[in-house]
């Protein structure tokens, strides 16, 4: 029962901590109180900070050394994350590129793609975004309808709409999943592309959420031309590439702290008059606190597995369900205890309360996650499906007619 | 960072599972509902396996294992619904061992069968030490204690004491007039000690009401911290038993959901059923994580043990409640019949959740510890 570093990890942690002690003052404030207000200034400052982190070997921790990485394991990535949090400084600007897109390019990219993209990505010179979800394809991601049509010269023309795209407004490239063949079953007709975000025909629009802030974007593609060598992986092999990205997404989420802590909620509640003595408040806080603590130890268990060379399975997603649900309960309890002031725009809780209902569906809805875990972990029989083996064009025709087969 | 079981722990767990598989304890539980004589006596198994001395230090004749090791055994007992007196003996041993009492060694060896009269330490809003009341929501005062040299006289009542009627001796906790907490070893035959043995709803948990009326015994040199630790150990043991029971239930419910068909498909393919089963898995994994927190706190930071043990109890008993109900539902009407095992697990959940301060009491303590500023690891 050991939560401590082994000697090698301990030495790595000391090195990271030492560098951060020396350079933390150079980090920009990018969130919360005192954050740089102007977005362009903020992004530029954050980009410069990523460059410093990269030069110090704190970006691409798990990337192979030949691509500028450190060649280390996920535990070392966690150590870096923990030390960044401890120092109170932001991590790299492009966590999507470094955590998901870079690793996918390393697995599926050509030598030219690796040489062209990985260096600029590592140093924050070119930020990457993920162009997967669509208005009508989220949990059922293989149902994307964005079309990529190949011309005689081998180039592609892409038309469609993507949504929930974090960082699109300052990204240099997007990793885009599109349909190249609608006459085969839906998982088979997909292809992954590396698309320059300044290409003619791309329009990016901020997507405002409950809180009023636009943390995501919608991306519209109107006959966007990309060359043949923009394909990542194989033409028709887009689903395989997507699964690689999603695996890295799970790993990336698993090694990042979510920051909802039982004691922080408890302190806010304890400070409200009459709350500490209220039996109902205590039961609710005790129940959600228990879940958050369990979520924290589930994280420790994941690290123990990683240290033992095991990768997280789909059941790890249950940790997200637990943390999001108990944070939702906490927001609800805090609003009950503090009253309407908790919902004031200046309150530290209003943003959390607004953000969590959407977070519940981030990375796949809770319902789909429960299906996946029920089938892959408990071995329960799958829901009967109407899309297996059916060409995508026929599925679409059925949907248009409003018929069920 | 390593939370995996050691080879010794795997051996301990497998040995416990083996020892408890010699009797069909679940079938015996059903029979015992109607026939007292059908109740298996697992005391000889308990002594033979050395579980009475798991936590006792080597100097006092025990195995001096960690709390997590004891929790592995408790999970096996819970898995089998086996009436193994772990809560009572391990809590009593915690106090006897801390006091280096002369009875620690015979208790560890199983030569002296000791039960513990549960005493809950104060919380952030309840300044008293308390005991479970017979009924109602007002917690009882500890028995009063008058100390005279190395002896003490106790007067008071403690209800719903695990394994009280089967014990040779009792570790009781009293409060002196000047507010000190004292632990006292009482012979069950001593004048002024009366124990009413009883069973309620779950045929695998013997209980007793204990009345002390000027009962005289020997004081144990355990301090208040050690007496509080016994409470937290007991909470953790109940939590571990609940985890074991849920771990037994989930595969039963999953297997039935795969084999039972309605409307031309297995019921496990319906989301309503599937999601309910995944909810059991989620709560089970959470409770397992909380047992690891208990183990970590016991080894590394005693200040976190009250929070860890209370969280484990709260989470595990909630998981047990959800799992036993879901198991009945998945089995449909059959799951609610006398012949089925599902009601036996349900009975276990219903009673356990009300013992030793109750699951709600544990949840309350989690809130109190968090509001008092304890930061979990």
**From the candidate CATH numbers 3.30.300.180, 2.40.110.10, 1.10.540.10, 2.40.50.140, the one assigned to the domain spanning A7-93:** 1.10.540.10
The architecture CATH gives domain A128-246: Beta Barrel (2.40)
B79, B95, B112: which is the final residue of a domain?
Answer: B112
Cα B65 from Cα B55, distance rounded (Å): 5
Substitution target from A77, A305, A374, A375 for chain B, most B beta carbons within 10 A: A374
A268 interfacial to chain B (CB closer than 8 Å) = no
Q: Do A286 and B314 touch (CB under 8 A)?
A: yes
Residues of chain A with pLDDT > 70: what percent? 99
Q: How far is A55 from chain B (nearest CA, A)?
A: 28
Between positions 276 and 315 of B, the ones with CB within 8 A of A are 277-279, 281-282, 285-287, 289-290, 292-293, 295-296, 299-300, 307-308, 310-311, 314-315
B124 touching chain A per CB within 8 A? yes
Residue B357's CATH number: 1.20.140.10
On whether residue B343 sits in a domain, the answer given is yes
Strands B144-148 and B151-162: antiparallel
Q: How far is A159 from A148, CA to CA, in rounded Å? A: 7
Q: CB pairs below 8 Å between A and B: how many?
A: 180
Q: Which of B112, B144, B166 is at the close of a domain?
A: B112
ipTM confidence score: 0.97
Same domain, B171 and B270: no
In whole angstroms, give the CA distance from residue B174 to residue B214. Answer: 12
Helix/strand/coil for A80 = helix
**CB contact B370 to A (< 8 Å):** yes
The parent domain of residue B74 ranges over 7-112
Beta strands in chain B (DSSP E): 114-116, 130-131, 140-141, 144-148, 151-162, 169-176, 181-187, 193-198, 207-220, 261-262, 265-266
pTM over 0.90: yes
Query: Which pLDDT does position A304 carry in this prediction?
Result: 84
Nearest CA-CA partner of A196 in A175, A220, A218: A175
A residues 321-340 lying closer than 8 A (beta carbon) to B: 321-322
Give the residue ranges of chain A where pLDDT is below 50. Answer: 405
- Whether residues A287 and B277 touch (CB distance < 8 A) is answered with no
Does any domain span residue B377? Answer: no
Cβ of A304 under 8 Å from any chain B Cβ?
yes
**With contact defined as beta carbons under 8 Å apart, do A65 and A71 qualify?**
yes
The reply to whether B78 and B162 lie within a common domain is no
User: Å from A324 to nearest chain B CA?
Assistant: 13
Give the number of domains in chain B: 3
pLDDT reported for residue B284: 97
pLDDT at residue A54, as a whole number:
97
- How many CB atoms are located within 10 Å of the residue B150 CB? 9
A283 touches chain B (CB under 8 A): yes
Which A residues, 244 through 263, put their C-beta within 8 Å of a C-beta on chain B? Answer: 262-263
Closest CA to B132 of B114, B98, B158, B153: B158
A381 in B contact zone (CB under 8 Å): yes
Contact B371 A267 (CB under 8 A): yes
For chain A, what are the domain ranges?
A: 7-93, 128-246, 258-364
Distance in Å, alpha carbon of A305 to nearest chain B alpha carbon: 8
Name the pLDDT band for B1 (thresholds 50, 70, 90).
Answer: low
Asked whether residue B273 carries a pLDDT value surpassing 60, the answer given is yes
In this structure, the answer to whether residues B96 and B122 fall within a common structural domain is no
DSSP B200: -
With respect to residue B64, please indicate whether it lies within any of the assigned structural domains.
yes
Residues B272 and B367 both lie in one domain: yes
B174: phi then psi, degrees, rounded to nearest 5: -130, 170
Integer-rounded Cα radius of gyration of chain B = 21
Chain B residues with beta carbon closer than 8 angstroms to that of A382: 269
Residue from the list A1, A315, A371 with its beta carbon closest to the beta carbon of B292? A1
Looking at the structure, tell me whether residues B82 and B154 fall in a common domain: no
- Confidence at residue B209, expressed as pLDDT on a 0 to 100 scale: 98
pLDDT at A404: 53
pLDDT the model gives residue A33: 79
pLDDT of residue A255: 73
The 10s digit of each residue's pLDDT in B303-355 is 999 999 999 999 999 999 999 999 999 999 999 999 999 999 999 999 999 99
What local confidence, expressed as pLDDT, does residue A250 receive?
Answer: 78
Residues B131, B82 share a domain: no
| Under 8 Å between Cβ of A61 and A12 | no
The CA-atom distances, in angstroms, between A88 and each of A17, A49, B185 are 12, 14, 53
CB contacts of B265 in chain A (<8 Å) are 381, 384
Q: Same fold for the domain at A7-93 and the one at A258-364? A: no
Which of B3, B68, B330 is most worth mutating to test chain A (most A CB atoms within 10 A of its CB)? Answer: B3
**Which of B112, B144, B161 is the C-terminal boundary of a domain?**
B112
Shared domain check, B31 and B82: yes
- Residues B176, B161 share a domain: yes
Q: How far apart are CA A379 and CA B256, in angstroms?
A: 12
Q: Can you list the alpha helix ranges (DSSP code H) found in B260-340?
A: 271-300, 305-330
For residue B301, is it within any domain? yes
Question: How far does A141 lie from chain B, in Å, by closest CA?
Answer: 19
Res. B374 pLDDT band, cuts 50 70 90: confident
pLDDT band at B225 (very low <50, low <70, confident <90, very high): very high
* Residue range B95-106: mean pLDDT, rounded: 98
Catalytic residue (one of A76, A134, A249, A291): A249
- B21 and B132 fall within a common domain: no
Q: Which residues on neighbouring strands pair with residue B116, listed in sequence order?
A: B171
B297 found inside a domain? yes
Same domain, B367 and B248: yes
Architecture of the CATH domain A258-364: Up-down Bundle (1.20)
Q: How far apart are the C-alpha atoms of A254 and A78, rounded to whole Å?
A: 9
For residue B376, tell me if it sits in a domain: no
Whether the CB of A271 is below 8 Å from some CB of chain B: the reply is no
Q: Supply A172's token pair.
A: 């240099």
**DSSP 3-state of A248:** helix
A366 carries an active-site annotation: no
Comparing alpha-carbon positions, the chain B residue that sits nearest to A367 is B275
Q: In terms of C-beta distances under 8 Å and separation of at least 24 residues, what long-range contacts does A9-15 make, across chains too?
A: A9/A75, A9/A76, A9/A79, A9/B1, A12/A72, A12/A76, A12/A79, A13/A79, A13/A82, A13/A83
- Enumerate residues 50 to 69 of chain B having a beta carbon within 8 A of any beta carbon in chain A: 66, 68
Among B257, B270, B363, select the one facing A286 at the smallest CB separation: B363
Q: Is residue B271 domain-resident?
A: yes
Per the CB < 8 Å rule, is B366 touching A279? no
Is the domain of B127 the same as that of B190?
yes
- Residue tagged 């025990």 (tokens): B62
> Which of A12, A232, A229 has the alpha carbon at shortest distance from A100?
A232
Inter-chain touch A307–B2, beta carbons under 8 Å? yes
Question: Based on the domain organization, do B205 and B284 belong to the same domain?
Answer: no
Please answer yes or no on whether B2 and A2 come within 8 Å at the CB atom: yes
Q: How confident is the model at residue B36 (pLDDT cuts 50, 70, 90)?
A: confident
């Amino acid at each position: 029962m050991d939560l401590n570093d082994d000697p090698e990890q301990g030495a790595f942690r000391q090195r990271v901590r030492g560098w951060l002690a020396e350079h933390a003052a150079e980090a920009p404030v990018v969130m919360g109180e005192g954050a740089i207000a102007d977005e362009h200034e903020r992004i530029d400052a954050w980009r410069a900070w990523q460059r410093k982190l990269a030069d110090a070997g704190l970006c691409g921790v798990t990337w192979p050394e030949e691509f500028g990485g450190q060649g280390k394991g996920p535990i070392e990535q966690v150590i870096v994350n923990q030390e960044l949090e401890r120092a109170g400084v932001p991590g790299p600007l492009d966590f999507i590129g470094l955590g998901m897109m870079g690793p996918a390019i390393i697995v599926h990219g050509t030598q030219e793609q690796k040489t062209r993209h990985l260096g600029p990505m590592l140093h924050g010179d070119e930020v990457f975004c993920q162009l997967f979800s669509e208005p009508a394809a989220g949990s059922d991601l293989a149902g994307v309808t964005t079309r990529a049509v190949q011309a005689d010269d081998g180039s592609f023309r892409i038309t469609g709409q993507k949504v929930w795209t974090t960082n699109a407004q300052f990204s240099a490239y997007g990793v885009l999943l599109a349909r190249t063949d609608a006459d085969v079953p839906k998982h088979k007709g997909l292809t992954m592309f590396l698309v320059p975000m300044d290409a003619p025909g791309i329009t990016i629009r901020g997507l405002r959420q409950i809180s009023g802030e636009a943390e995501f974007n919608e991306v519209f593609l109107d006959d966007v031309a990309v060359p043949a060598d923009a394909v990542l992986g194989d033409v028709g092999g887009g689903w395989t590439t997507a699964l690689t990205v999603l695996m890295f997404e799970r790993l990336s989420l698993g090694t990042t702290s979510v920051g909802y802590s039982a004691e922080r909620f408890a302190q806010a509640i304890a400070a409200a008059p009459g709350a500490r003595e209220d039996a109902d408040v205590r039961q609710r806080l005790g129940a959600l606190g228990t879940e958050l603590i369990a979520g924290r130890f589930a994280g420790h268990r994941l690290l123990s597995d990683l240290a033992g060379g095991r990768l997280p399975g789909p059941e790890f997603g249950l940790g997200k369900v637990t943390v999001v649900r108990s944070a939702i309960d906490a927001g609800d309890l805090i609003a009950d205890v503090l009253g309407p002031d908790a919902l004031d725009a200046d309150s530290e809780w209003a943003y959390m309360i607004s953000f969590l209902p959407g977070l519940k569906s981030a990375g796949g809805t809770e319902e789909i996650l429960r299906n996946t875990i029920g089938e892959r972990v408990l071995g329960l029989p799958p829901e009967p499906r109407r899309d297996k083996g059916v060409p995508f064009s026929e599925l679409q025709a059925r949907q248009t007619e409003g018929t069920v087969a | 960072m390593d939370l995996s079981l050691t080879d010794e722990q795997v051996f301990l767990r497998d040995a416990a599972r083996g020892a408890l598989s010699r009797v069909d304890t679940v079938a015996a539980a059903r029979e015992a509902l109607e026939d007292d004589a059908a109740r298996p006596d697992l005391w000889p198994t308990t002594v033979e396996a050395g579980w009475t001395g798991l936590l006792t230090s080597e100097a006092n004749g025990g195995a001096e294992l960690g709390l997590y090791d004891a929790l592995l055994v408790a999970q096996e007992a819970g898995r089998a619904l086996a009436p193994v007196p772990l809560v009572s003996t391990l809590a009593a041993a915690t106090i006897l061992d801390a006091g280096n009492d002369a009875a620690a060694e015979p208790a560890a060896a199983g030569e002296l069968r000791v039960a513990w009269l549960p005493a809950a330490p104060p919380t952030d809003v309840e300044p008293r030490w308390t005991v479970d009341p017979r009924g109602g929501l007002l917690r009882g005062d500890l028995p009063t204690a008058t100390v005279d040299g190395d002896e003490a006289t106790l007067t008071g009542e403690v209800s719903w004491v695990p394994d009280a009627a089967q014990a040779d001796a009792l570790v009781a906790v009293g409060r002196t007039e000047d507010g000190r907490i004292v632990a006292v070893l009482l012979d069950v035959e001593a004048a002024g000690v009366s124990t009413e043995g009883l069973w309620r709803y779950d045929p695998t948990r013997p209980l007793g009401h204990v009345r002390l009326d000027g009962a005289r015994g020997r004081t144990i040199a355990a301090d208040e911290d050690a007496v509080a630790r016994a409470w937290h150990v007991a909470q953790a043991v109940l939590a571990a038993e609940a985890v074991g029971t849920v771990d037994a239930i989930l595969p039963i419910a999953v297997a039935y959901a795969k084999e039972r068909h309605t409307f031309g498909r297995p019921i496990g393919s319906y989301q309503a059923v599937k999601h309910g089963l995944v909810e059991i898995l989620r709560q089970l994994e959470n409770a397992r994580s909380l047992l690891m927190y208990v183990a970590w706190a016991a080894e590394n930071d005693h200040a976190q043990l009250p929070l860890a043990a209370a969280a484990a109890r709260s989470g595990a008993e909630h998981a047990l409640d959800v799992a036993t109900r879901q198991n009945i539902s998945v089995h449909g009407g059959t799951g609610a019949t006398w012949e089925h095992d599902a009601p036996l697990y349900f009975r276990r959940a219903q009673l356990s959740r009300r013992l030793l301060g109750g699951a709600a009491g544990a949840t309350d303590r989690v809130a109190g510890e968090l509001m008092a500023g304890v930061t979990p690891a």
